[in-house]
Structure 1
Amino acid sequence: MVTQKRNKQEYDNALKDYNQQMQNLSQDQIKHDSGTFTWPVPGHPLSQYYAKVNWSADITWHWDVAQKAVIVTKVNVTFDRVNPNYAGGGFWDAFVFMNPNTNVPQEAGTYLRKQGDIPGINGDSLWQKIGGGGNSGIFAFYTQKNSTHEYTIKYDFNNSVPFKAVDNHDGTWTVLKSVIRQNDGGVGSGANALFHILWHNNDTKVTVNPNIPTMPTFKTTEVHYHYNQAYDLI
């Protein structure tokens, strides 16, 4: 058997490059993302909406080698409300950015069409009702009454930080998720139609891709042979 070693200098260079990439990933990274969320009016052109909000997010994160995970250390979100151009029956729509590990808010309750929403609801009471503040995992909160267009915006960036991002198992990690408040469209018809409150995850989210490099290995090439007497020439 003959063993031929791989070029040592080639391996050393690859290992040096790998270590540098991992060191860079362990330092603070900033992910900036932005977008717009709109509550359209069913059956109307997309240019008509109950509410609209532009959002911008800056997330500070790094790769933790020991945990093999993305760790978020700072969250900053800004909401910029756009004036609505359509009025509804009085429901408080809400759009909330949260720690991706946090459960979707729960809010029991029903109301009649003529009521518009659960009695006593406003921006401050809704914030309290879903546990805003403290260690709730809620970072940014926007809600608006779709009849009068009264609105509330609240931020709380200190709670639940730092935290481990959610592994999407496709190379990306979710560092910020959103949830929305809406109703089920009502059961029945007319003024006596009964509506139920719904909170659920929304597709709007912020993700990062750390692009973890593959650690180089130092391999050898092996050549196996045997002596064949059939080719033994005298």
Structure 2
Amino acid sequence: MNAHPSYDITWHYDSQRKKVVVTNIHLTIASGLAPKTGGGFWDAYVIRRSIDPEPAKDPRKFPYGRQGDVTGVDGNSLKNDYFPGSVGFYAHNNKTQAEVKAVNDYHGSYDAVQNNDGSWSLITIYSRYGVSSHQNNPTFGEPAWAEWGKTSPIATITLPKLATSQVHYHYNQAENRYYESRIIFSNIF
């Protein structure tokens, strides 16, 4: 595909709850025609909030030995099935170069998902792909289907960390004496 999403995401850190909170998402999907390199499969991706579940596997099977996509599937049917509740969608037919896209700016509030490395995922992009190496070879007798898997880019952030401590001294002229006061910053985020 030759369609690249860009996004402008507004978020803040809630220090009381120790969570990253997303409040606005604005998407654009710039596209251009990709080369014709397939038998008519609809390559697609859907962009969701990081808290939303992965799209469900399509239960429809590919016919044995057939190039292309499942009968009755096109960019509009995929959009109708997978775009509702999402913030972005793009589909491209790899034979005809037809494309379908949709965006839905998000204005609300949800907690981002914290990853094992301490970063936070704000949105997740899932790519549609055909499975089974046998989809075009009927001798194996195994039909194929389309699934959704995580792909890049996934919008993530890492919070900055401040120095662990600072020491400040002040001089009290009336007592002719120095006083030490410590300001502790310990991973405020």
Find the partner of 2:80 among 128, 133, 137: 128
Letter in 1 for 2:150: N
TM-score normalised per structure 1: 0.63
Cα deviation digits, residues 59-93 of structure 1 (max 9, x gap): 10001122111000000111111211233111111
Cα deviation digits, residues 169-213 of structure 1 (max 9, x gap): 433111111100010144265467732211111132011122254
* 2: CA distance, partners of 1:163 / 1:214: 29
Preserved CA contact (<8 Å) 1:185 1:195 = yes
Q: Please say if 1:176 is aligned against 2:123.
A: yes
Residue 116 of structure 1 corresponds to 68
State the secondary structure of the residue aligned to 1:126.
helix
Q: Percent identity?
A: 25
* 2: CA distance, partners of 1:98 / 1:205: 10
Residue 100 of structure 1 corresponds to 50
Find the partner of 1:167 among 89, 114, 117: 114
* 2: CA distance, partners of 1:169 / 1:87: 38
CA shift for structure 1 position 114: 2.3
* 2: CA distance, partners of 1:210 / 1:76: 21
CA shift for structure 1 position 139: 0.8
Preserved CA contact (<8 Å) 2:62 2:135 = no
CA RMSD in angstroms comes to 2.4
CA shift for structure 1 position 150: 0.8
Residue 10 of structure 1 corresponds to none
TM-score normalised per structure 2: 0.76
CA shift for structure 1 position 129: 1.5
Q: Looking at secondary structure, tell me which structure has more helix per residue.
A: 1
* 2: CA distance, partners of 1:98 / 1:109: 23
* 2: CA distance, partners of 1:196 / 1:180: 14
Cα deviation digits, residues 117-176 of structure 1 (max 9, x gap): 12211222112212x22xx2x1110001111111101011237x3110011143311111
5+ residue gaps, structure 2? 167-180, 183-189
Residue 12 of structure 1 corresponds to none
* 2: CA distance, partners of 1:104 / 1:177: 9
Residue 147 of structure 2 corresponds to 198
Letter in 2 for 1:109: R
Give the total of aligned pairs.
164
State the secondary structure of the residue aligned to 2:79.
helix
1:164–1:145 CA distance, 2 compared to 1 (3 A): same
Residue 83 of structure 1 corresponds to 33
* 2: CA distance, partners of 1:140 / 1:180: 12
Letter in 1 for 2:61: T
Find the partner of 2:157 among 202, 205, 208: 208
Preserved CA contact (<8 Å) 1:54 1:82 = no
Larger Rg: 1 or 2? 1
